[in-house]
């Protein structure tokens, strides 16, 4: 009894004993990716993943980390870091619309010269 998402070549599941997500691929049996994202996140939003034994085309090292985003948002929506969606017009509008305020992160004011 484990929470698992599967496709033709990839399986992603939550390992209750280690309290982390794992991803494997049938075409590359040595490949493993892990994330310490909380079970309740259902992996939606931005999460740090550690990738082991990936293709040399992706990395020169055997193990590396990447911030990956899984979203259910449409193309017209911004994915908040915690996984919720807000319309793109709310991104960088000066108001905090995401619960984690990520819609205002990295925004810079526009300078005009008269």
Chain segment 80-110, per-residue pLDDT in tens: 998 999 999 999 999 999 999 999 999 987 7
- Please tell me the distance from the alpha carbon of residue 93 to that of residue 104, in angstroms, as a whole number: 7
Chain segment 18-35, per-residue pLDDT in tens: 999 999 999 888 999 999
């Amino acid at each position: 009894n484990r929470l698992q998402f599967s496709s033709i070549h990839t399986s992603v599941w939550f390992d209750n004993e280690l309290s982390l997500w794992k991803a494997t691929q049938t075409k590359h049996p040595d490949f493993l990716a892990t994330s310490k994202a909380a079970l309740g996140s259902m992996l939606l939003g931005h999460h740090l993943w550690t990738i082991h034994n990936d293709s040399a085309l992706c990395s020169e090292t055997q193990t590396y980390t990447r911030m990956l985003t899984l979203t259910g948002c449409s193309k017209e929506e911004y994915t908040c870091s915690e996984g919720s969606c807000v319309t793109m017009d709310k991104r960088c509008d000066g108001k905090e619309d995401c619960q984690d305020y990520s819609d205002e992160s990295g925004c810079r004011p526009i300078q005009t010269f008269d």
